[in-house]
């Protein structure tokens, strides 16, 4: 039995790069996440994906981000950076429901 490596940082880097390349267009972000779902194991990395979509990067226990302020390991296309109004948050929720 050969086991797959668990590499959440590689997964994070792939997702963050795709989100950042999609820009501010939530529809482009949704399309990227949909297309990436066929290549990436969302079930295996569900916690990492949730962290990225909500906080913009991976979170350590206790809730601090694990990105060392490296812009290539974080995205501003997440709930924490969204405008603080009902419609903006709803739009991000719809993207992550896919």
Burial class (CB in 10 A: 0-12, 13-18, 19+), 3: exposed
pLDDT of residue 88: 83
Contact 98, 33 (CB under 8 A): yes
Query: What's the pTM value of the predicted model, to 2 decimals?
Result: 0.84
Q: What is the mean pLDDT of residues 44-64?
A: 93
Contact 77, 21 (CB under 8 A): no
Residue 83's pLDDT band, with cuts at 50, 70 and 90, is confident
Structure tokens belonging to residue 20? 């950042």
Identify the domain containing residue 49 by its residue range: 1-97
Give how far the C-alpha of residue 24 lies from the chain's centroid of Cα atoms, to the nearest Å. Answer: 14
For residue 97, pLDDT over 70 is answered with no
Give how far the C-alpha of residue 66 lies from the chain's centroid of Cα atoms, to the nearest Å. Answer: 13
Task: Give how many domains the chain has, as a whole number.
Answer: 1
């Amino acid at each position: 039995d050969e086991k797959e490596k668990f590499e959440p940082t590689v997964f994070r880097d792939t997702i963050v790069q795709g989100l950042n390349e999609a820009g501010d267009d939530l529809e482009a972000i949704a399309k990227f996440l949909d297309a990436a779902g066929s290549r990436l194991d969302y079930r295996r990395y569900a916690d990492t994906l949730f962290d990225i979509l909500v906080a913009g990067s991976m979170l350590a226990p206790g809730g601090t981000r694990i990105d060392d302020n490296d812009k290539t390991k974080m995205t501003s296309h997440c709930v924490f950076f969204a405008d603080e109004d009902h419609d903006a948050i709803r739009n991000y929720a719809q993207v992550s429901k896919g």
